[in-house]
Amino acid sequence: MPDLPFPDPALPDPALPDPALPDPALPDPAFPDPPFPDPINAAERVTISSGAHQAEFAPGGGGRLTRLSTGSHDWIVPLTATEWAAGKWPRAGSYPLVPYSNRIRNGVFTFNGARHALQSVPGRPQAIHGAGLFQPWQVRNHTADSIDLVLAQPSGVLGWPWPFECVQRYRLDARGLRLSLSVINQGDSAMPCGLGIHPYFTAERVTLNARRVWPADADGLPTGSRVKHVRELRWSAEGCDTYLSQWEGRATLHWADGHELALHADPAFAHVVVYTAPGSQFLCVEPVTNVADAFNLAAAGETRTGMQVLEPGERFAATALIALTPPRGQR
């Protein structure tokens, strides 16, 4: 199989509109909107390895995993850019989703009777993917085959009113890359939250077994769910952005040359998003704990959103294994 023509990491994610467009104003924000870090600096890189497996990270670039490879094979689209504007993050690598996954409609939600307005990505009315991917993370522990990345976020960052600490713990071994995500509410009141990862795999298709789909409206946000079996998704000219739940916590990604990657997620990752842009050659398979717009759906009475509520000092964690299997002749 020839090398994949990876998208230019300097280009914006196609799901995001032109960042030159005016940012829609949100009514009655609970907090002033500090500017997004601009540009985001991902120049510093740190690596871990185990045998032929290697992983690279950019702590300052939103705590991103920038490369995951076995020998010459890249499992995710390599992120080579060293800086980018907040609204034009690269379609490459993998980034953490914290303190929630995916979009919040109009950047506004109500929790425990209080209304909260979040700062949105420039040019887009929906707040998206949390604040973690825009912030510099710190390296807490780093060995030859492991790394812990830590984000200590004070209250008010991008409008999020609760302080929290999030830890990404990566361990690389002969089987693959193990990941633990955890978040602690460091505020003095209950905090809604969610977690996830957003990897841009180089695979062509994914097989899984999911029994519930959350159809999206014109704004890319679900309004409910229905029973539907989904077993395979792949690259396509039309692209896809599919919200799924009631899945088995396992997905297998396939390459034409025989490489396979098995994603094992614990039950905390109750949802999974499969995304690919029209005509692109990346496939995002995102284990997440909550569906898009979970906070608003939960406030409207939906019980399957996956939204977590953490009391002060409470911790929530989710783990996953990315098992890497080269073709038989290359093992």
Residue 21 pLDDT > 50: no
pLDDT at res. 130 = 94
Average of per-residue pLDDT across 148-158: 96
Which helix (H) or strand (E) element contains residue 176? strand 176-185
Which helix (H) or strand (E) element contains residue 205? strand 205-213
183 vs 176: CA distance, rounded Å: 23
183 vs 160: CA distance, rounded Å: 14
For the record, the structure tokens of 308 come out as 């977590």
- Residue % of the chain over a pLDDT of 70: 88
DSSP classification of residue 188:
S
Other C-beta atoms lying within 10 Å of the C-beta of residue 249: 17
Whole-angstrom CA distances from 180 to 25, 41, 197 are 36, 24, 10
Confidence of residue 120 (pLDDT cuts 50, 70, 90): confident
What residues have CB less than 8 Å from 172, skipping those under 6 apart? 48, 49, 50, 53, 54, 55, 145, 146, 178
Average of per-residue pLDDT across 19-45: 57
Residue 10 pLDDT > 70: no
> Which residue has 């060995």 as its token pair?
143
149 vs 138: CA distance, rounded Å: 5
What is the residue type of 217? D
Question: Cβ(271)–Cβ(285) under 8 Å?
Answer: no
> Mean pLDDT score of the chain, rounded to an integer?
89
pLDDT at res. 329 = 62
120 vs 265: CA distance, rounded Å: 29
Other C-beta atoms lying within 10 Å of the C-beta of residue 331: 8
Confidence of residue 2 (pLDDT cuts 50, 70, 90): very low
What is the residue type of 114? A
Handedness of CA 125, 309, 245, 286 (dihedral sign): positive
For the record, the structure tokens of 32 come out as 């002033």
Residue 200 pLDDT > 50: yes
Q: What is the pLDDT of residues 229-280, one digit of tens each?
A: 999 998 876 788 899 999 999 999 999 999 999 999 999 999 999 999 888 8
Handedness of CA 170, 241, 300, 156 (dihedral sign): positive
pLDDT at res. 122 = 73
Do the strands 40-41 and 240-254 form a parallel or antiparallel pair, or are they unpaired?
unpaired
- Output the 3-class SS for 258-311: CCEEEEEECCCCCEEEEEECCCCCCEEEEEECCCCCHHHHHHCCCCCCCCEEEC
Domains of the chain, first to last: 40-330 (2.70.98.10)
- The string of DSSP codes covering 59-86 is TTTTSEEEEEEETTEESB-----SEE-G
- Residue % of the chain over a pLDDT of 90: 78
Residue 125 pLDDT > 90: no
Average of per-residue pLDDT across 211-224: 94
Confidence of residue 37 (pLDDT cuts 50, 70, 90): confident
Whole-angstrom CA distances from 64 to 109, 136, 223 are 27, 10, 30
- The string of DSSP codes covering 11-54 is SPPTTS--TTSPPPPPSS-SS--PPPPSSEE----EEEEETTEE
Confidence of residue 65 (pLDDT cuts 50, 70, 90): very high
